[in-house]
Amino acid sequence: MNNYIERLKKFMTVKFSVILVAVILLAAIGYGYRGLVVAATVDGSPISRLSVIRMLEKQSGKIVLDNLITEKLIASEAEKRGISIPKEEIDAVVSDIEKQVGAQGQTLDQALSMRNMTREDLISQITLEKELQKILSDQIQVSGSDIDNFIKENKITPPKGEEADFRKNVEDQLRQQKLSSEANVFITSLKEKASIGRFVDY
């Protein structure tokens, strides 16, 4: 009997030690990764990340969800049409943007950080726009007469010696206007045809 009690004591001691170590480890892990659960504390009172997420969803949930649905619809349509954007084409746009922000005394990462964006976000946006451009290529063509009419209607005189660059800038501007207009019609059409299930009401 005494041997049994001694073995039981040893077992309980070992079991308690294991539980204590486990609790200490969990506490250490919880402290190290506390940002996964707690966003901040105020005088020791925690503000959970879940409450932050709920507030963000309440404020912008509908807009963000609509944007994600739109991105998925465009990507799916591009895939159906066999449209893919070469990495070189995206890199060229990123390089142009880097030059533009560099001329303003900033790096691209600094400019993106000010807008709460990452390079991945930027590349995603560029890809999306390029896919739309290719899908709507026939609808966003800009003719020479379009450029002439724009210059005439706005009573603009192109700088001497820079006429070609000026017309190119006007062409890009008109194409962007057409893309914006046609994209709205196209996206509305995609949403009407798609089977979209919303399980959260914002």
Tens of pLDDT, residue by residue over 72-100, are 999 999 999 999 999 999 999 999 999 99
Alpha-carbon distance of 151 to 148, in angstroms, equals: 5
Please give the structure tokens belonging to residue 155.
Answer: 């009573």
Contact criterion met (CB below 8 Å) for 42 and 159: no
Instruction: State the Cα torsion 23-29-33-34 to the nearest 10°.
Output: 20
Judge whether 98 and 112 are in contact, CB under 8 Å. no
Taking the CA atoms of the chain, what radius of gyration do you get in angstroms? 29
User: Which residues, at least 6 apart from 129, have a Cβ–Cβ distance to it below 8 Å?
Assistant: 179
Within a domain: residue 200? no
SS3 202: coil
Residue 82 lies in a domain: no
Q: Which helix (H) or strand (E) holds 63?
A: helix 49-80
162 part of a folded domain: yes
Q: Is 121 within 8 Å of 158 (Cβ atoms)?
A: no
What is the sign, positive or negative, of the torsion defined by CA atoms of 157, 163, 169, 171?
positive
Say how far apart CA 4 and CA 122 lie, in whole Å.
Answer: 69
| Domain assignment of residue 124, yes or no | no
15-41 pLDDT, tens digit per residue, is: 445 555 555 555 555 555 566 677 888
| Confidence tier at 121 by pLDDT (50, 70, 90) | very high
Residue 159 lies in a domain: yes
What's 33's DSSP letter? T
186 within some domain: yes
Average pLDDT, the chain: 83
- Residue 161 belongs to some domain of the structure: yes
> What is the value of pTM for the model shown?
0.69
Q: Considering its fold, how many domains does the chain have in total?
A: 1
Domain enclosing residue 142, as ranges: 136-195
- Any domain includes 91: no
